């Protein structure tokens, strides 16, 4: 029998793209490949289901609180931040705000707090002369958000094939690291860690958009 945690992941991928407002429990069950009875064994109703999806987002943020900057933790911290930046969609947040304003407010506040912590982290990295100093942390974050949002938007509108989008996402990671990390510090980055985390991000991406 499918575990509730795995079911939440499948439902998360589904409603990020298609939303939940107009979908019945039967339709949701069908689209994630389980029976209606199985869905109701795991969730009392749609309210419970949506809350479980939001809790997954909140748990990710809570479990990845930003550490004090160290060169050894920059790579994992920044790549996890990029994953978070692509973790919601306008469709999902619009429906959440309309139907569950308290949940939407909680998620928005947690995300905004995380981003403020991320800005402080980037400032620490600049002060340590690890990141370039000709760009502000605000711009670094804005650029990352804009690039990822544009790629995901093009995929949702069927203007960008999935494989091309994956190539663009990988190029975004590379460009970000090459453009933000001081040249003399780039040799300290663990390329195997980059590859491993790229696969994690791309697996999440495929599960959501395939």
Q: Could you tell me if 30 and 68 lie in one domain?
A: no
Q: Could you tell me if 147 and 44 lie in one domain?
A: no
Cβ partners under 8 Å of residue 78, min gap 6:
176, 177, 180
Of 56, 79, 99, the residue that ends a domain is: 56
The residue-averaged pLDDT of 110-128 equals 96
Q: Could you tell me if 35 and 102 lie in one domain?
A: no
The residue-averaged pLDDT of 95-124 equals 96
Domain CATH for 5: 1.10.10.60
Q: Could you tell me if 51 and 112 lie in one domain?
A: no
Least confident of 49-53, 76-80, 85-89: 85-89
Domain that holds residue 157: 64-203
Of 24, 39, 56, the residue that ends a domain is: 56
The whole-chain average pLDDT of the chain stands at: 88
Is 99 or 191 the better-scoring residue by pLDDT? 99
Q: Could you tell me if 114 and 186 lie in one domain?
A: yes
> What is the residue-wise DSSP string for 45-73?
SHHHHHHHHHHHHHHHHHHTPPPPP-HHH
CA atoms of 155 and 188, how far apart (whole Å): 34
Say if 210 falls within a structural domain: no
Q: Could you tell me if 91 and 160 lie in one domain?
A: yes
Is 154 in a helix, a strand, or coil? helix
Q: Could you tell me if 125 and 187 lie in one domain?
A: yes
Residue 54 confidence (pLDDT): 95
CA atoms of 61 and 153, how far apart (whole Å): 23
pLDDT above 60: residue 210 = no
Tokens coding 152: 């995901």
Is 181 in a helix, a strand, or coil? strand
Is 131 in a helix, a strand, or coil? strand
The answer to whether 59 and 109 are in contact (CB under 8 A) is no
Say if 209 falls within a structural domain: no
Cβ partners under 8 Å of residue 126, min gap 6:
132, 133, 137
Say if 24 falls within a structural domain: yes
Q: Could you tell me if 41 and 132 lie in one domain?
A: no
User: Which of 174, 175, 176 shows the shortest CA–CA distance to 195?
Assistant: 174
Q: Could you tell me if 97 and 196 lie in one domain?
A: yes
The answer to whether 121 and 77 are in contact (CB under 8 A) is yes
What are the Cα distances from residue 41, in Å, to 1, 49, 51?
11, 11, 16
Q: Could you tell me if 187 and 131 lie in one domain?
A: yes
Number of domains in the chain: 2
Q: Could you tell me if 79 and 39 lie in one domain?
A: no
Say if 185 falls within a structural domain: yes
The residue-averaged pLDDT of 165-171 equals 84
Tokens coding 114: 């995380």
Cβ partners under 8 Å of residue 197, min gap 6:
75, 76, 79, 80
């Amino acid at each position: 029998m499918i575990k509730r945690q795995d079911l939440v992941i499948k439902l998360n991928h589904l409603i990020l793209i298609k939303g939940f407002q107009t979908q019945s429990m039967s339709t949701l069950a069908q689209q994630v490949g389980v029976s209606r009875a199985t869905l109701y064994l795991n969730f009392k109703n749609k309210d419970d289901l949506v809350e479980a999806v939001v809790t997954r987002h909140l748990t990710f943020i809570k479990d990845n609180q930003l550490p004090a900057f160290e060169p050894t933790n920059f790579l994992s911290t920044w790549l996890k931040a990029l994953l978070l930046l692509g973790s919601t969609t306008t469709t999902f947040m619009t429906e959440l705000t309309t139907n569950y304003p308290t949940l939407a407010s909680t998620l928005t506040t947690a995300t905004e707090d995380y981003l403020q912590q991320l800005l402080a982290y980037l400032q620490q990295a600049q002060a340590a002369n690890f990141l370039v100093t000709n760009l502000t942390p605000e711009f670094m974050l804005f650029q990352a958000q804009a690039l990822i949002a544009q790629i995901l938007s093009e995929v949702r509108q069927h203007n960008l094939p999935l494989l091309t989008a994956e190539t663009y996402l990988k190029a975004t990671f590379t460009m970000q690291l090459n453009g933000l990390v001081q040249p003399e510090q780039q040799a300290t980055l663990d390329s195997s860690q980059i590859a491993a985390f790229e696969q994690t991000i791309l697996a999440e991406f495929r599960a959501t958009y395939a």
